[in-house]
Every structure is written in structure tokens, then in C-alpha cells.
Amino acid sequence: MNKKRRAIIAANEVSELKTYTLGGYPQKVLIEGRNRSNPIVIFLHGGPGSPIPFNEGCRGLFPEITDQFIMVYWDQLGCGINNHVIDESFTIDCFVNMTIDLIRQIRDEYPDNKINIFGMSWGSILAAKVATIVPELIHRIVIFGQVLKELAFNNEVFEALEKSKMPGKYKDKLNFMKESSALNYENVTALFKWINRYTEGYMSKKGGRPPFGPIIRGIITSPDYSMKDFKAIIKNGYAKNRSLTNELIAIDLSETLEAISVPYLILQGDTDIVTSTKMISNFVETVNNSNLHYQLVDNSGHIPSSRGMEAIINTGFGFFT
């Protein structure tokens, strides 16, 4: 860890790795901020099981955020520093309850601070659901890549893959899926892989590579992460789980988002077909909810490009102030 990072950490009034019981499981949570009186942002990462770009190995890495906010970095149960086997008994509501437990315990320790949530992809599901359960505890919410419904298995994805340079043998499989309406774990998993490989749904070519290199190097040299924790960012307790994916296939958050009663900003990359930007844009335009806000992020896909990260830092965190 270099001197600059050590100095950033030393200057923070709040910089601690704590253990909370969330959903009945002891879990480590990193809390970091320059001033104890600053607003709080709880980060809900994607995946499930993908704690990037913000995780508990990020102490001292984001002074542009932690100078203004107290960041709560939580590697959700099953990955990173909280690696744990996620068997078929786990449901989305299990993680919603863990999130509520975290919010309540942060509120108890910081009774006078505003609590905000920033979620990405899978984290948007948790954010939307907790916002309708405990809205009195939440000031504002920002999302990058909002889940709505019909993940992967929809005409927009089919058309994009049909127009892509995907090999003919896969296009034959795609046509079979489409014609048979075979909505199941295997087919949706294949669709996500094809989106990643043959379209810009995950990653935009024009937006610049996300700054994950410096982040990864920072995580490797973290004072909190072991190499075992680092490996569990990718290969972790979700490896054999199907229950959560099966729920994701069937999810429809339309009614949940219609009921949102706190200010809620959705940032969407313009090439994102994983959580369809077209679908989200149309939904926000037509739903009668003044709390829902939408902003298009040019040259970014579902995974934030360099432009996407700029939008998160400037527009997203700016929404909290």
C-alpha cells in the first residue's frame, strides 16, 4: 500500500471493518469517510456475487467519494470477504432482509446522518424492495443498470443476437429458444454469455475501458483483503446456486418501482440490453411516479465504461447532495 493511500486512510474520521449479524449470518462491513457527520451511502453490488467496483478491499481507494460521504462497503454473503456457500434455500428476500438489517444497524450507529443507497444491477432489486419496506430510513437512491423484468429472454436481446456475428450453430439454438419459449436456467445463462461475447450489451466499445485495473491492484494491496478474499470476488459461494437465477428469470419489479416513495435516480448505459435501457426509459416515461428519475449514459453498457464511472461519480453521487 503506497504512502498516498495510507495518508487518505489516516485522514478519515471513520475507517473501520466491523462485523454485523445480517439475516442471521455474521458479516464484515467496511465503513469509511472523511467526516463522521457526512451523509452515508450504502453500496449494493451486482451479480449476485460480484462486488465490483466497490467492495471491502477498497479502503482508501476513492477519496473523491469518501471526502464527501461515509461509504458502507458490503460484500454480500457468498462472495469476497464474506464468502459462504449459497445453496438452493437462499432467495431474493433473504438478501433483502440482510440489507434491511444493515440499514437499521447503520441507522442505530449514525442516528443523525442521511442514509442513501447506490445499487448496481442485482443490487437494484435489493434497493427497490427495501425502499418500499423501510422508506422512512432512506434519503435517496441511485442505480446503475436497473432490473425491471424479462431479463435476457426478450425480443430486444433476440434481435441483437440475430444481427450479431454470433456463429450459426448458436443462432440455431437461439431460434429454437425463441420459437419454443423455453425460458429456463440453462437458456437464460446461455443468453447472458452470448450477450457478453457478441454484443455491446455488457460493455460499450466507445466509452473507454472501465478503470478496473487500478481498482484491482488496490484491492490486492488492501489492508483488509486476503488473496482468498480476492479470489472470492469471482469464484465464490454462488457457483452452484440456481435458486436466485430462477427468481431473476421470473422477476417483475414494475409494481415495486411504481410504489417508490423516495427520490430514485436510474442511470442506464445506452448499449445496455442486459437490463434493457429501452425498457427502463419507456417505463419511467409512462409510470405516474414523480420520484423516479432517469438519465441515459452515453457510450456505456451494463458494466460501466470509463464514461459510466464518470456518470456514477459526478451525476450519481451528486444526486445524494
**Would 117 be classed as within a structural domain?**
yes
**Would 123 be classed as within a structural domain?**
yes
Instruction: Give mean pLDDT, residues 285-301.
Output: 96
**Would 160 be classed as within a structural domain?**
no
Question: CA dist 236 to 49, 54, 229, Å?
Answer: 7, 17, 9
Instruction: Give mean pLDDT, residues 152-161.
Output: 96
Q: Determine what percent of the chain is predicted with pLDDT higher than 70.
A: 100
pLDDT (0 to 100) of residue 212: 82
pLDDT (0 to 100) of residue 208: 81
> In total, how many domains does the chain have?
1
pLDDT (0 to 100) of residue 211: 76
- Cα 179 from Cα 173, distance rounded (Å): 10
Instruction: Give mean pLDDT, residues 276-305.
Output: 96
Instruction: Give mean pLDDT, residues 122-145.
Output: 98
**Would 60 be classed as within a structural domain?**
yes
Per the prediction, the chain carries an average pLDDT of 96
pLDDT (0 to 100) of residue 213: 87
For residues 200 and 308, the answer to whether their CB atoms sit within 8 Å is no
**Would 161 be classed as within a structural domain?**
no
**Would 181 be classed as within a structural domain?**
no
Instruction: Give mean pLDDT, residues 125-153.
Output: 97
**Would 73 be classed as within a structural domain?**
yes
Record the pTM.
Answer: 0.96
Q: Determine what percent of the chain is predicted with pLDDT higher than 90.
A: 94
Residue 6 dihedral angles phi and psi, to the nearest 5°: -60, -40
pLDDT tens digits, 19-69: 999 999 999 999 999 999 999 999 999 999 999 999 999 999 999 999 999
pLDDT (0 to 100) of residue 182: 85
Residue 207 has pLDDT above 90, yes or no: no
- CATH assignment of the domain containing 9: 3.40.50.1820
Instruction: Give mean pLDDT, residues 233-261.
Output: 96
What b/e string do you get for 145-163 counting C-beta neighbours within 10 Å, with b at 16 or more? bbbbebbbbeeebbebbee
DSSP string for residues in 249-317? HH-B-HHHHHT--S-EEEEEETT-TTTTHHHHHHHHHHS--TTEEEEEETT--SS--HHHHHHIIIIIH
Instruction: Give mean pLDDT, residues 282-304.
Output: 96
List of residues 6+ apart from 90 with CB closer than 8 A? 78, 241, 243, 244
Residue 299 dihedral angles phi and psi, to the nearest 5°: 55, 45
**Would 201 be classed as within a structural domain?**
no
DSSP string for residues in 184-197? SHHHHHHHHHHHHH
Domain that holds residue 22: 3-151+206-318
Residue 209 has pLDDT above 90, yes or no: no
